[in-house]
Amino acid sequence: MGKLVVTEFVSLDGVFEDPRWTFEFNRGEAGDAFKGEELREAEVKLLGRVTYQGFAQAWPSMANDWFGEKMNSMPKYVVSNSLGDEDASWTNSHVIRGDMQAGVSQLKERVEGSILVHGSATLVAALAEHDLVDEYRLMLFPVVLGTGRRLFADGFPRTQLRLLESQPVGPDGVLTLTYVPAP
């Protein structure tokens, strides 16, 4: 059975929207290794419609290294009732429609490796609500943005987490944090 991993870049005040602000920080070799290992072990990418559309616009032009090649070639599933099959044209993309819980549960049963979720705030909240998230991997940046969409926004289901691992990476005070839902 696949492991569903939510992976996000997050500011100290919980903002994860439009993470171009993360480029201001040096996450170092350890931070790059964290993201690289995460993608290497991933079998599938799962995204909400808005994140999917942003990724589908940006990533096809970034296939100049193994990371970009994998992002573009790996199977991608987008949870959406409004996205047509013709709109899911990024290589190896599939649409999950209807009952999100059933569709993602079936995906988890078919996959052996990690199912990686980036961005996708609405989807992440729904996955958490239905106890479908197996792990949260956060790269925490030492900045307070003050505005922007927060990962754990008002209305996010109460979720108690247990820290598996934390590591400072790079010279700028970036941390990687790995959590699992507490039993």
Would you mind telling me the total number of residues written for the chain in this entry?
Answer: 183
Question: pLDDT tens digits, residue range 6-24?
Answer: 999 999 999 999 889 999 9
Outline where DSSP puts E strands in 33-152.
42-48, 76-79, 93-96, 114-118, 135-141
Domain-wise residue ranges, the chain = 3-181
Question: pLDDT tens digits, residue range 51-88?
Answer: 999 999 999 998 889 999 999 999 999 999 998 877 89
Q: Which amino acid is at 29?
A: E
Question: pLDDT tens digits, residue range 156-174?
Answer: 888 899 999 999 999 999 9
Tokens encoding 132? 């479908």
φ/ψ of 150, rounded to 5, equals -95, 145
What is the side-by-side strand order in the sheet with 3-11?
A: 93-96, 76-79, 42-48, 114-118, 3-11, 135-141, 174-181, 161-169
* CA–CA dist 145, 4 (Å, integer): 28
For domain 3-181, the CATH superfamily is Dihydrofolate Reductase, subunit A (3.40.430.10)
The answer, as to whether pTM is greater than 0.85, is yes
